Amino acid sequence: MARKKAEKEEMRKMQIVQSAYEVIASKGYNNFTVEDIANNAGLSKGGVLHYFKTKEDILIHLLEQIYIIIKENINRRADKYKTPERKLRAIVIAFIVTAKRHPAFYTVLVDFWAQVPINNRVKAINSRIYEQLCDEIRKVIDMGIEQEVFKQVNSVNASYAIAAMVMNVAIQWTFNPEMYNIDHLARTSMKMIMAYITAE
């Protein structure tokens, strides 16, 4: 009985978070209310506040969920391969696939980033999870350096540069899919990355 109740509670929380995602994607971070989320989820405002005490709590949970999905995509794809080159390619593709499969993800993420200078909770969560994403890239670079297939680069700096470049490709495409062919630009980005880190 307790297990079923816990599962129901978790499903309801997921329903609220999905509704928050849809509402932010259509209205923006600052232009919606808890009532909007409740209406989208088919719940009362009290039903939403039973699971999340404030609007900000919902948003923080949503931000964490978005990053978790991106990280899971990265890990699932990278774990399929043995060599650092293939793992790094898989990571780059994971960022792009996330944009293609979840078109509003990066739009919502950019809305969150706009809150970083004024919201310390958002800043702390964003910094922590972004560092985790970059750390996955760093591990692959360090593996490549150890195997002498990558140059002796500063793997921390390189990981941040790679994440920034690939996420920007995905974000710009999300805002305007007609701007460029995202698959072609992903391949071009990968060539630039490999030219920078591959040992001669």
110 in helix, strand or coil? Answer: helix
Phi first, then psi, for residue 114 (nearest 5°) are -65, -20
Q: Determine the distance from the C-alpha atom of residue 134 to the mean position of all C-alpha atoms in its chain, rounded to a whole number.
A: 11
The percent of residues above 90 in pLDDT, for the chain, comes to: 32
Q: What pLDDT shows up at residue 14?
A: 85
CATH of region 59-197, choose from 2.120.10.30, 3.40.50.720, 3.40.50.800, 1.10.357.10: 1.10.357.10
According to DSSP, residue 1 is labeled -
Question: Rounded distance, CA 40 to CA 36, Å?
Answer: 6
3-state helix, strand, coil in the chain (%, to 5): 80, 0, 20
Confidence band of 1 (pLDDT split at 50, 70, 90): low
Q: Are 9 and 30 in contact (CB under 8 A)?
A: no
| CA distance readout (Å), 166 to 98, 150, 169, 170 | 11, 19, 5, 6
**Is there a shared CATH topology between the 1-53 domain and the 59-197 domain?**
no
What was the pLDDT predicted at 179?
Answer: 85
Q: At what angle do helices 155-175 and 105-113 cross, to 10 degrees?
A: 120
**What's the predicted TM-score (pTM) here?**
0.82
The pLDDT of residue 159: 96
| Domain spanning 1-53: CATH 3.30.70.100 | no
pLDDT at residue 200 in the model: 72
Q: Is the pLDDT confidence value at 7 over 80? A: no
Which segment of 10-14, 40-44, 128-132 scores lowest on mean pLDDT? 10-14
pLDDT in tens, 25-39: 888 878 888 899 999
In the chain, where the domains are located: 1-53, 59-197
Q: Which pLDDT belongs to residue 85?
A: 93
Over residues 106-128, the mean pLDDT reads 87
